[in-house]
């Protein structure tokens, strides 16, 4: 089974709720998980699969708890070629910056050599007020990419 590190970027807690729910489902399937709400590159394991759950704040910015991690990736430019990851974005489609933070971290991880597993999920919280529901549906397909 796989080890999945869920990394959250959250302003109001929605991404954390989604990560908590998905970690519980992954553990029911025999995977091990940990949830990181203040990611630091020095303490993250690139042997683990990262599942980034990130909301978009303001005019397309990363949430405050995620900004230092994104800046660290940008400044240090680590080789992430061993890394496999998934992305879930939360946003509101009525804004032209819908899920911009998730799109940006996806692009950044890819540019550092990481390999995305499956498609990025973009949740419109104005249409899905319980973002755990579409995330759970997406997880059923995403789990097919995991060793186990």
What integer best gives the mean pLDDT of the chain? 95
pLDDT at 18 over 60: yes
What's the pLDDT at 139? 97
pLDDT band at 97 (very low <50, low <70, confident <90, very high): very high
Q: What is the pLDDT of residues 102-142, one digit of tens each?
A: 999 999 999 999 999 999 999 999 999 899 999 999 999 99
Please tell me whether residue 118 adopts helix, strand or coil conformation: coil
- Domain 3-143 -> CATH class: alpha beta
Q: What is the pLDDT of residues 37-57, one digit of tens each?
A: 999 999 999 889 999 999 998
Residue 100: name the closest of 84, 117, 115, 122 by CA: 122
Residue 10: name the closest of 35, 44, 46, 41 by CA: 35
Please state the rounded mean pLDDT for residues 54-74. 95
Q: State the sign of the Cα–Cα–Cα–Cα dihedral 34, 74, 91, 138.
A: negative
What's the pLDDT at 148? 54
């Amino acid at each position: 089974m796989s080890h999945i590190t869920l990394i959250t970027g959250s302003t109001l807690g929605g991404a954390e709720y989604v990560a908590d729910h998905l970690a519980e489902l992954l553990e029911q399937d025999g995977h091990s998980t940990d949830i990181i709400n203040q990611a630091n590159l020095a303490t993250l394991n690139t042997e683990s699969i990262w599942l980034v759950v990130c909301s978009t704040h303001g005019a397309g910015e990363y949430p405050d708890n995620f900004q230092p991690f994104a800046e660290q990736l940008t400044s240090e430019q680590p080789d992430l070629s061993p890394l496999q990851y998934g992305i879930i974005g939360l946003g509101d489609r009525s804004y032209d910056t819908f899920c911009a933070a998730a799109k940006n971290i996806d692009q950044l991880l890819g540019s550092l050599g990481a390999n995305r597993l499956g498609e990025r999920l973009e949740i419109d919280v104005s249409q899905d007020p319980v973002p755990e529901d579409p995330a759970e549906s997406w997880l059923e397909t995403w789990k097919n990419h995991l060793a186990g």
